[in-house]
Amino acid sequence: MFRLGQSLCTATRSQYGVVELKHLSYAFKNISRASSTNTMAEKFKLPARYGAGEKSVWVEYIQLAAEYKPAVNLGQGFPDYHAPEHVTKALSEIATGDNALLNQYTRGFGHPPLVQSLSKLYSPLVGKNIDPFNEIIVTYGAYEALYSAILGHVDQNDEVIVIEPFFDCYDFMIKAAGGIPRFIALNPKNTSGTVTSADWVLDEKELEGLFNSRTKMIILNTPHNPIGKVFTKHELELIADLCKKHNVLCLSDEVYEWMAYEPAQHIRIASLPGMWERTITVGSAGKAFSVTGWKTGWAYGPAALMKNLQVVHQNCVYTCCTPIQEAIARSMEFELARRDSPDCYFKALARELMPKRDMLVETLKENGFNPTIPESGYFIVADWTKLANKIDLSQEPDKYKDYKFTKKFAKETSVLTIPPSAFYSEPHKHLGENYVRFCFIKKDENLRLASKLIKEWNSKKGN
Ligand SMILES: Cc1ncc(COP(=O)(O)O)c(C=O)c1O
């Protein structure tokens, strides 16, 4: 508006009428451009139901990694070393092999050899013959399995119980479906001395209080990211009983199923009495075979529940990458043939990760952090409050302390980590602020380098 007023004045006063009229017409053009920009901004703003997903810790911290070029990236959860050779070899053979059809579309709900292998793998584990063609779906990563399960089952105003900290996309997906997340936090029973992930528990009464006639679903994540908790039989039975009592579906995210450290034992909630019929279980080839870039996952459960996932999947993804599915099927068959041997990757993986966990736990303890020792997975959350007097966060613009800490820590140590408040709902973010998440599925040399850098930083600050 201000611009228009100025141009109009000059137009009437100037002897160079033509030129000024040109100004006038520019001004009108500007106005209509501005107002069309405004209408466009208004019309094409992000739909309100997607608001929860606007900020992504992954997008932000991958960008940070590109900017800071940290010497060691212990942020995002992926191995920085090779997957088992038979897995990657299978893919290269398939891509260049004789069967041209293995590079073409395959069955939408899952490549037949893969769903058959998955049925062979899981049937004995849940104590039921899983129908490969009606009770399993292959998806674009576990991520899409979660998406299809949530979008396929959650209706307007349905309530979904989410255990905090949670894999951050749950919140977005529930809201995108029109549902209402109801959060309950795991809290550590003790915060000093040695803390393990088993110390992080739910308040049973609080959990019970969340179930009501509007509850459609509870999302369980066991083994848990980022705490590393493996839910016990007692905890799973409590959840199962509440699901049965209130006719609620359990979406069980079990992508870290092969990474429970003895004596912890991963129990599939679908295997508990009366739970198969109300559970959708999610798995990931990326996690199972250390090939996160293959982005292939699956969900399994009773046909009546899986139907809804099929509807979402067939209308947004339709079919996943054929050669990758074939390679995973062959890898699965390879592991199934040696499933009772200690060499089976599903057993070897936890053995391979345990010393890495211990190495990082030691580093953290020696340098003022109080780590929660995980019983599973490849993350450690560590309390950094004892280091607060060694790091000046006053110039860090972020809202939450853990964001400030992780960014300053990355700048000062060249070790990148993740802020756990990203795994909490807005009102509960303070519960994650005193922690930082480290990923330890990294080469030993990189873990040693992280250890050296953190030690140097700590001694510079005066221990
Ligand atoms: C708890 C949890 N669920 C699901 C996923 C997604 O797995 P995928 O890479 O197979 O999509 C992840 C990945 O980090 C995860 O941590």
Quick check: CB of 253 below 6 Å from ligand 1?
A: yes
The whole-angstrom separation of Cα 211 and Cα 217 is 9
Same domain assignment for residues 456 and 380: yes
pLDDT in tens, 134-175: 999 999 999 999 999 999 999 999 999 999 999 999 999 999
Same domain assignment for residues 77 and 91: no
Same domain assignment for residues 69 and 206: no
Same domain assignment for residues 78 and 92: no
> What's the predicted TM-score (pTM) here?
0.92
The whole-angstrom separation of Cα 369 and Cα 378 is 17
Give the per-residue pLDDT at 317. Answer: 96
Quick check: CB of 148 below 6 Å from ligand 1?
A: no
Q: Which band of pLDDT confidence, cut at 50, 70 and 90, is reported for residue 68? A: confident
Of 337, 352, 369, the one marking the end of a domain is 337
Quick check: CB of 441 below 6 Å from ligand 1?
A: no
Give the per-residue pLDDT at 398. Answer: 95
Q: Measured in angstroms, how far is the CA atom of residue 169 from the centroid of ligand 1?
A: 10
The half-sphere exposure of 297 on its side-chain side, counting CA atoms within 13 A, is 27
Same domain assignment for residues 95 and 35: no
Of 282, 309, 337, the one marking the end of a domain is 337
Quick check: CB of 297 below 6 Å from ligand 1?
A: yes
Same domain assignment for residues 237 and 164: yes
Token pair, residue 289, equals: 């075979």
Same domain assignment for residues 16 and 65: no
Same domain assignment for residues 323 and 359: no
CATH number assigned to the domain comprising residue 385: 3.90.1150.10
Same domain assignment for residues 434 and 320: no
Quick check: 17 pLDDT over 70? no
User: Which residue puts its alpha carbon closest to atom 14 of ligand 1?
Assistant: 77
21: left (phi over 0), alpha (psi -120 to 50) or beta: alpha
Q: Region 382-400: what's the mean pLDDT? A: 95
Give the per-residue pLDDT at 33. Answer: 67
Residue 310 contacts residue 134 (beta carbons within 8 Å): no
Same domain assignment for residues 323 and 376: no
Of 293, 314, 337, the one marking the end of a domain is 337
Q: Which of 287, 376, 423, 439 to mutate to test the pocket of ligand 1 (most atoms within 8 A of CB)?
A: 287
Q: Which atom of ligand 1 is nearest to the CA of 285?
A: 10
pLDDT in tens, 38-63: 789 888 988 888 876 778 899 999 99
Structurally, how many domains does the chain consist of?
3
Q: Measured in angstroms, how far is the CA atom of residue 255 from the centroid of ligand 1?
A: 6
Q: Which residues contact 46 (CB under 8 A, 6 or more apart)?
A: 54
Same domain assignment for residues 270 and 406: no
Burial (CB < 10 A; 0-12, 13-18, 19+), residue 437, is buried
Could you list the residue range(s) of the whole structural domain that residue 351 is in? 53-82+344-460
Same domain assignment for residues 175 and 252: yes
Residue 235 contacts residue 218 (beta carbons within 8 Å): no
Tell me the sheet residues that pair with 283.
298
Quick check: CB of 221 below 6 Å from ligand 1?
A: yes
Quick check: CB of 387 below 6 Å from ligand 1?
A: no
Q: At residue 127, what is the residue type?
A: G
